């Protein structure tokens, strides 16, 4: 998976940019993909455009063209769908006195689809079984961590009742995308929860990040996901005999940074989830450089996936590829070219690095 930061400030700007062949950002993203060559790829922060022009242009003008001598790559199978970023709620969610703007949308964004997602695959996608959960309401999660008003003496919701009647859980979306590999579908469970910051003492984003990640833990645990309904009104979680891979920029480090202490931990201890812990020596080198700047984190920097620059306090592990326990992880890594190498020029276009895991499917007997 790869958070590519391929979005722009205004609707239509990215479409125009990708229609040509001279976007340094798109070229660096494409080269990273060409050199990593994943068979199935989730792109976070790829701006959604309903006609598909953005992803079509990116494939045609960048992935299908050699970037600095890298071999072109083609993904004949694509899944994308609307997301909640930039979709207005009609309520003043951040209490700034105006019921409009990016902080008052179902998910942060200046226009609908600004922070979209897309799945690219060399294997067929079973579109008839794909499930999306974009409209699932936050309040419909049992024991949801809905934020309280810190300025009231008694527990009172930060959001008015009318807002809770419409407010969705997913800040972008949650997708269950079955990929047909041989005779076995593997479910790609894709999401991009909100960062657990950029809020106030009510901690609405921190709590929402927790529940967006918890969604997958419940979806994968028998009985716990019975309350979940998809955008077609079908209820229930994933069957226990269906292999899966959870992927996404989940915006939660296991031990460092702003986070709910049980956000990513709950998913990682879900019985069917395997954590192969991808890493890169470049994460260690970046941490040593930051240590000289006085920045110190507790987690093992070998597993960091994000680099916010030396002026920001510490890097973190925010991006995950988590296969189910019946899938065997053979190799895994974070694509993070070392300083001074020829490919180091690919660093910095996004503050996240591509994360990949090679897996083998279980042998099925008939």
Can you read off the two tokens belonging to residue 13? Answer: 């700007």
The confidence score (pLDDT) of residue 106 equals 98
Q: Give the C-alpha separation, 169 to 219, whole Å.
A: 14
Residue 33: φ, ψ to 5°: -65, -45
Q: What is the pLDDT along the chain (366 residues), one digit of tens a residue?
A: 999 999 999 999 999 999 999 999 999 999 999 999 999 999 999 999 999 999 999 999 999 999 999 999 999 999 999 999 999 999 999 999 999 999 999 999 999 999 999 999 999 999 999 999 999 999 999 999 999 999 887 778 999 999 999 999 999 999 999 999 988 899 999 999 999 999 999 999 999 999 999 999 999 999 999 999 999 999 999 999 999 999 999 999 999 888 888 999 999 999 999 999 999 999 999 888 877 665 667 899 999 999 886 555 668 999 999 999 999 999 999 999 999 999 999 998 999 999 999 999 887 644
């Amino acid at each position: 998976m790869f958070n590519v930061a391929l979005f722009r400030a205004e609707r239509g700007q990215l479409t125009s940019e990708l229609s040509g062949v001279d976007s340094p950002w798109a070229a660096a993203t494409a080269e990273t993909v060409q050199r990593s060559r994943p068979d199935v790829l989730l792109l976070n922060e790829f701006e959604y455009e309903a006609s598909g022009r953005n992803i079509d242009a990116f494939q045609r003008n960048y992935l299908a063209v050699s970037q600095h001598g890298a071999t072109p790559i083609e993904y004949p199978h694509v899944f994308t769908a609307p997301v909640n970023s930039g979709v207005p709620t009609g309520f003043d969610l951040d209490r700034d006195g105006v019921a409009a703007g990016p902080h008052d949308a179902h998910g942060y964004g200046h226009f609908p689809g600004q922070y979209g997602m897309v799945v690219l695959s060399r294997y067929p996608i079973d579109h008839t079984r794909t499930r999306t959960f974009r409209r699932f309401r936050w309040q419909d999660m049992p024991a949801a961590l809905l934020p309280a008003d810190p300025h009231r003496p008694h527990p009172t919701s930060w959001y008015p009742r009318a807002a809770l009647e419409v407010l969705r859980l997913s800040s972008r979306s949650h997708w269950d995308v079955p990929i047909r590999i041989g005779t076995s579908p593997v479910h790609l469970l894709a999401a991009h929860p909100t960062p657990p910051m950029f809020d106030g003492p009510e901690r609405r984003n921190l709590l929402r990040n927790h529940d967006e990640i918890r969604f997958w833990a419940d979806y994968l645990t028998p009985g716990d996901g019975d309350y979940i309904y998809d955008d077609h009104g079908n209820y229930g979680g994933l069957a226990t005999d269906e292999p899966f891979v959870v992927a996404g920029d989940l915006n939660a480090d296991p031990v460092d940074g702003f986070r709910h202490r049980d956000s990513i931990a709950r998913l990682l201890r879900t019985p069917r989830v395997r954590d192969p812990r991808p890493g890169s020596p470049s994460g260690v080198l970046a941490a040593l450089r930051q240590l000289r700047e006085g920045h110190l984190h507790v987690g093992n920097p070998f597993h960091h996936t994000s680099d916010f620059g030396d002026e920001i306090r510490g890097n973190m592990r925010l991006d995950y590829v988590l296969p189910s326990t019946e899938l065997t992880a053979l190799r895994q890594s974070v694509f993070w070219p070392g300083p001074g190498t020829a490919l180091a020029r690919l660093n910095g276009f996004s503050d996240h690095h591509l994360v990949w895991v090679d897996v083998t499917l279980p042998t099925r007997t008939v």
